[in-house]
Amino acid sequence: MRHINRYPRQGMRLTLMLLPFVLMIAAWFIGSAVRLEANPQDKLLPGLSQMIAAIDRMAFTPDKRSGEYLLWADTLISMSRLLIGLALSSLIGLGIGIAAGVFPMYRAALSPLMTVVSMIPPLAILPVLFIVFGLDELSKVMLIVIGITPMLARDLEQRAREIPAELFIKAQTLGANSWTVVLRVVLPQLLSRLITSLRLLLGSAWLFLISAEAISATAGLGYRIFLVRRYMAMDVIIPYVIWITLLAWLMDLALRQPAQSLFPVGGRRPGMSFIDIKNIWQEYGDHVVLERINLQVKEGEFCSMVGASGCGKSTFLRLLLGRKSRLAGKSPSTASRWRRSRTAARRGVSALFGFPAPQRAG
């Protein structure tokens, strides 16, 4: 079998997913043990006990000067700056994206402007932001806004321009004005894309935040990292970096769920498959029931499965409807939604199986 056609089983996939992290952690602690054995005062590669002591000092011991728990105080300040910046960027980017993507008159003015502004390195104008907005919170928030808003606006504009013209024509034929078209046709299509774009830009937003805090701040995660850098306190820097990574991952996870559940339509474009099965594999002992099954069904299409008894039709349908876990392969993300509320009924999704008396399920 060619390697391009080989897919890992679920257990192997989990192993391959964890293996790089295990190797990095092992390499770190091996290097730390070697350096600490040669020099117990070494600060470059702190050991686990040193980092645990630093976490206890930063997170669970009040600071002698301020009386605050520094890790939690820094987290609260940084997260407030980040969330305000992301919220403003989302509102501005969505407004510009809709204006440039839907209205040709606005597109002529806004699209070239956003293209040029998106090419300006945000960190290059950080001194300008400090001069214009001062050294307080506003300059840090504005760096995030200026850094990610142009990319958001361009992405949403492109997505708006991909909406089929037939939808606009049908809406206007039914008497919809421009405002109604934006609210009923365009906005539902863009909300899912907005969340996806935010997920992709989270790393950039954190970069701009930490850069601003490192240069001009009195508190925050970025401020603390660059403050302890003076003392080569790697036992503090490494836990802070891991904590920032965990926060970013949790934010990505929090954005992923609404994109999948609240806006199931906006993430799919016309012509895309409503059902997309890839390399489904199912076996019972030594008996292979399903082997490398691939299936794509678009909206409005009808698919029938014909075969002898025991060929795997019922097993395949149960996998499709989420009533049975697959052994390997990729099943449609829509299957999880079919089990909830009335999604299947609204979309006309049904499964007929059994002979001679078909039973309707789903």
What's the mean pLDDT when you consider all of the chain?
Answer: 82
| Residue 311 scores a pLDDT above 80 | no
Q: Which CATH architecture has domain 273-361?
A: 3-Layer(aba) Sandwich (3.40)
Neighbours of 355 (CB within 10 A): 8
Query: pLDDT, tens digit, for every residue of 267-290?
Result: 455 445 556 777 776 776 667 777
Tens of pLDDT, residues 11-21 = 888 999 999 99
Q: Which of 22-26, 235-239, 306-310, 337-341 has the lowest mean pLDDT?
A: 337-341
pLDDT at 190 over 70: yes
b/e 207-245 (16+ beta carbons within 10 angstroms → b): bbbbbbbbbebebbbbbbbbbbeeeebbbbbbbbeebbe
Q: Which tops the pLDDT comparison, 315 or 22?
A: 22
- Residue 299: pLDDT band by 50, 70, 90 thresholds? low
Q: Which of 15-29, 52-66, 252-266, 317-331 has the lowest mean pLDDT?
A: 317-331
- Which amino acid appears at position 307 of this protein? G
Per-residue model confidence as pLDDT tens digits over 103-154: 999 999 999 999 999 999 999 999 999 999 888 889 999 999 999 999 999 9
What would the 3-class secondary structure string for the chain be? CCHHHCCCCHHHHHHHHHHHHHHHHHHHHHHHHHHHHHCCCCCCCCCHHHHHHHHHHHHCCCCCCCCCCHHHHHHHHHHHHHHHHHHHHHHHHHHHHHHHHHCHHHHHHHHHHHHHHHCCCHHHHHHHHHHHHCCCHHHHHHHHHHHHHHHHHHHHHHHHHCCCHHHHHHHHHCCCCHHHHHHHHHHHHHHHHHHHHHHHHHHHHHHHHHHHHHHCCCCCHHHHHHHHHHHCCHHHHHHHHHHHHHHHHHHHHHHHHHHHHCCCCCCCCCCCEEEEEEEEEEEECCEEEEEEEEEEEECCCCCCCCCCCCCCHHHHHHHHCCCCCCCEEECCCHHHHHCCCCHHHHHCCCEEECCCCCEEEC
pLDDT > 70 in the chain, percent: 78
Cα dihedral value 180, 185, 186, 189, nearest 10: 150
Spatial separation of the C-alpha atoms in residues 28 and 48, rounded to whole Å: 10
Specify the higher pLDDT residue, 42 or 109: 109
pLDDT of residue 1: 54
CA pair distance 101, 266, nearest whole angstrom: 16
What percent of the chain is modeled with pLDDT above 90?
50
pLDDT at 324: 60
Whole-number Å distance between alpha carbons of 134 and 332: 50
Which pLDDT value is given to residue 223?
93
pLDDT at 27 over 60: yes
Between 145-159, 160-174, 258-272, 302-316, the lowest mean confidence (pLDDT) is in 258-272
> Distance between CA 125 and CA 39 in Å, rounded?
43
pLDDT value at residue 258: 73
Q: Comparing 30-39, 70-79, 90-99, 320-329, which segment has the lowest mean pLDDT?
A: 320-329
The first and second tokens of residue 196, run together, are: 């996806």
Residue 351: φ, ψ to 5° = -130, 130
- CA-based nearest residue to 319, from 278, 287, 356, 348: 278
Whether 302 has a pLDDT exceeding 80, the answer reads no
Identify the band that residue 58 occupies on the pLDDT scale cut at 50, 70 and 90: very high
Query: Can you give the pLDDT at residue 322?
Result: 64
pLDDT score recorded for residue 274: 59
Inter-residue contact 150 to 87 (CB < 8 Å): no
Q: Could you tell me which of 361, 281, 354, 358 has the C-alpha nearest to residue 313?
A: 354
Backbone angles phi, psi at 186, to 5 degrees: -80, -50
Structure pTM? 0.71
The CATH classification number of 70-261 equals 1.10.3720.10
- The pLDDT assigned to 347 comes to 39
Q: In the chain, where are the structural domains located?
A: 70-261, 273-361
